[in-house]
Every structure is written in C-alpha cells, then in structure tokens.
Structure 1
Amino acid sequence: MNILQINSSAKSSGSESTRVASNIVNKLLAANPGATVEVRDLAANPHPVLDEQALQALFTPAGQRTAEQAARVALDDALIAQVQAADVIVLGAPMYNFGITVQLKSWFDAIARAGVTFKYTENGPLGLLQGKKVYVATSRGGMHKDAPTDTQFPHLKMFLAFIGLTDVEYVFIEGQGYGPEVAAQQKAAADARVEELLA
C-alpha cells in the first residue's frame, strides 16, 4: 500500500486538519505494516500558482517548450506522478473563508490535466484516477457541516469525483473558533470518527 498525505494548512504547527490526517495515516500504517508513506506539506513547500506563464508552458507541445517551460511543467508532472502511484490519499483540508486554502487550490490546479487525470468523452468528463481510497480531514472555525455556508465540501466532493476519486470518507473537525469546550468536543468527535472508519 502506498499512502500519500497532503497537508494544505498554512500552519506549520497546531493544525487540526494535519493532526487528524496524520492520525489517519498512523492507523493505516498500524493495519498495514508494509505500507509506504509520502507526505507533501503544501505550506512548507508551496506549489506555484497557475499563472499565464504556466498555462503557456502546459499548452506548448512538449518538443517545443523552452527549458523554463519544461521545468514548470515538470513540477506539475511530479505531483501527478505522486497521486497516480498512491493507493490511498489522505488530505488535510482546512476551511479558510468558506473555501479551500490557496495551497490546496494550487495542488488541484496542478493535478487536473486533460488526458492524464481526466478526459472528456461523448458522455461528459471521465476521471482517470480511479480505484483509490481517499480520506479528507477538514477543520473549520465555525459550524458549517450540512449548512448553506459550507461551500468547501461541495467543491472538494465535485473536484475529487471529476478526477476519478469517488471512494472518499470525510472527517469534520468543526467549531474550533467556538471556545475551548466546544473545540475539545469536536476534536473528540473527529477522533471517534477516525476510529470508526479505521477500526
């Protein structure tokens, strides 16, 4: 089993999404002693944003790219290769201002490539990263689950399905801005959810 952990919090420490994602990975390792783990911290090693230069590089045929363009595309290629090689993906995805972090958005932009991780067919788009298990740990300052304010969850669900990742389990760590008592209750509930998923 190859496990890929993606941390997308801007925090280098004290991130609940990272804590829970790491907890999931540790339990997977305990159940699968021969498993390997790759951890990519998108804050410590941020991926460049999708700008005009990146788009020009991506849409230039490989044989015609400049050295600079080839190097830029290679950065995305490396992320795609990591995802393709993974059997299990564990994603730490905190909610910032009702959405995903800029770090995670850059990762999404890098791994979504037509003809590689998805393709268009006469019946619509088809995700090509099939057969993988995904766990998503998402922390929030407020209480947003199943509420109109949760625009992050639909985005995550739609994007992952678009590239073929449909076997997804979510762990919500809510109310982290509601004071110590509520925060502790929500952390405990999240930990119990992890236990349930990986018992």
Structure 2
Amino acid sequence: MKTVLAIYSSLNGEQGNSSKLANEYLTKLEAKGDVSIKRVDLSTMELPHLSSEEMQAWMTAPAERSEAQHVLANRSDSIVESVKQADEIVLAVPMYNFGIPSSLKAYFDRVARAGITFKYTENGPVGLLENKSATVFAARGGIYAGTDFDTQTPYLQHFLGFVGISNVNFVYAEGLAMGEEQAKNAFSAASEKIIELSE
C-alpha cells in the first residue's frame, strides 16, 4: 500500500486554493485504491519558530534529556517519523509575499535533522530520506513561475533534495487574483496536470 503524507500550509485551511488542488489530486489517488493518506494542516498545528532550546533538546542524548527537552524533541521526532513513513509527500503551498508560508518553514525546520534526515560528508551533504517523491501544489495570485519572483520553486527543490527527495513534481495555478477568466483557465490547466500525475 502506498503511503502519502499531505501537508497543507494555507492560512485558509481546506478553503485555500492550494488545498483544493491537493485535495483534487488526493481524491484521484484514493479512487485508485491501495493508498493510505495522512493529512496535516499547519494552520491548526501552530508550530512555533524554531528556538535554540528546541535545537539543544535534539542534541541532548534521549537518556539525558529533561522532561521539558523530551517535549521539545518530540515535536521534531514525530514530524520526522511521519515523513519517513511516507512514500510520497504532497505539499499544498500558497505564495505569501513571494515566499512559502512561515508555518511550512517551521515544519521544514523540524524535518532537517543532521544524522537523521541528512548527513555531512567530505563531499558535502547527503540526504537520508531515500525512495520518496514529492508533489507540490502551488497557488498564486499573480504569475511568477519561471521568473525571479518565484522563490518557492528553487527553495522547495533545494530543501527536498537536501534531505534526499529529488523526485519532485510541481503543479501551478497562477494569476488567481487576475480576474475570473484567468483563474478558471489556471484551475483547468492544473486539473489537466493532476490527471497526468495521478495516472
């Protein structure tokens, strides 16, 4: 059975455009059967920004951690375990001020763990999350793909590749704030891509 971890990062939860795209894709996967989907809504998870105390908890041996450090370390440990168990990571990503939502950055900060999800070698960093793919559903009010204003695509490619996930597909719905016709065409194009990826 294929295991999918779906991570939603829109402030609007299920009503966000990126969430709708991801759900369209997941519905098609479910229709094929033999798939287990775990959904995580970062708008309700309320992860704080990473602190030095939390990072220090990771670096402390489990047997030596205080009760508070166990709680802090468990945040990252549970996130990493969910990612490890997934065959495919689905990311629903709106664009906020030319970047990814800060909630998603906070989530990624708990994924990147030296010696667990990546390691440094004499030839540079090596990702340890092998044999996984990722599908990114990016919803934008303007049209940015392929321009210098699209900081999301290279960042997501670099981060996912850093932890070992190099098989990444992107589905864009752009110009959603540029009129009804543009939005309709953007969703139609995205739906065609979703059909292609879900086959």
**Taking structure 1 as the reference length, what is the TM-score of the superposition?**
0.95
Query: Once the two structures are superposed, what CA deviation does each residue of 1:5-51 show, in whole Å capped at 9, x if it has no partner?
Result: 100111134211111111111111222x1211110001011222201
CA RMSD for the aligned pairs?
1.1
In the alignment, what sits opposite 1:118? 118
Q: What residue identity is the alignment partner of 1:164?
A: G
**Taking structure 2 as the reference length, what is the TM-score of the superposition?**
0.95
Which structure 1 residue ranges, 4+ long, deviate > 6 Å from structure 2? Answer: none
> Which segments of 5 or more consecutive residues in structure 2 lack a partner in the other structure?
none
Q: What residue identity is the alignment partner of 2:27?
A: N
Query: Once the two structures are superposed, what CA deviation does each residue of 1:153-195 show, in whole Å capped at 9, x if it has no partner?
Result: 1101100000001111100111111121111111111111111
Q: Is the 8 A contact 1:118 1:128 kept in 2?
A: yes
Query: Once the two structures are superposed, what CA deviation does each residue of 1:82-130 show, in whole Å capped at 9, x if it has no partner?
Result: 0000011111011111110011001100011000100011111111111
Query: Once the two structures are superposed, what CA deviation does each residue of 1:129-164 show, in whole Å capped at 9, x if it has no partner?
Result: 111121110111110000111111110110000000
In the alignment, what sits opposite 2:52? 52
Q: What residue identity is the alignment partner of 2:21?
A: V
Matches within 5 A, 1:16-35: 16-31=17-32, 33-35=33-35
Matches within 5 A, 1:1-199: 1-31=2-32, 33-199=33-199
Q: Distance in 2 between matches of 1:144 and 1:151?
A: 9
Identity of aligned residues (%): 39
Q: Is the 8 A contact 2:14 2:20 kept in 1?
A: no
What is the CA distance between 1:59 and its match in structure 2?
A: 2.5
Q: Distance in 2 between matches of 1:12 and 1:27?
A: 20
Q: Distance in 1 between matches of 2:112 and 2:11?
A: 22
The alignment covers a number of residue pairs equal to 198
Q: Is the 8 A contact 1:24 1:90 kept in 2?
A: no
Q: What residue identity is the alignment partner of 1:106?
A: A
Moved more, 189-198 or 138-147: 189-198
More helix by share: 2
What is the CA distance between 1:3 and its match in structure 2?
A: 1.0
Q: Is the 8 A contact 2:3 2:86 kept in 1?
A: yes
What is the CA distance between 1:62 and its match in structure 2?
A: 2.2
Q: What residue identity is the alignment partner of 2:25?
A: I
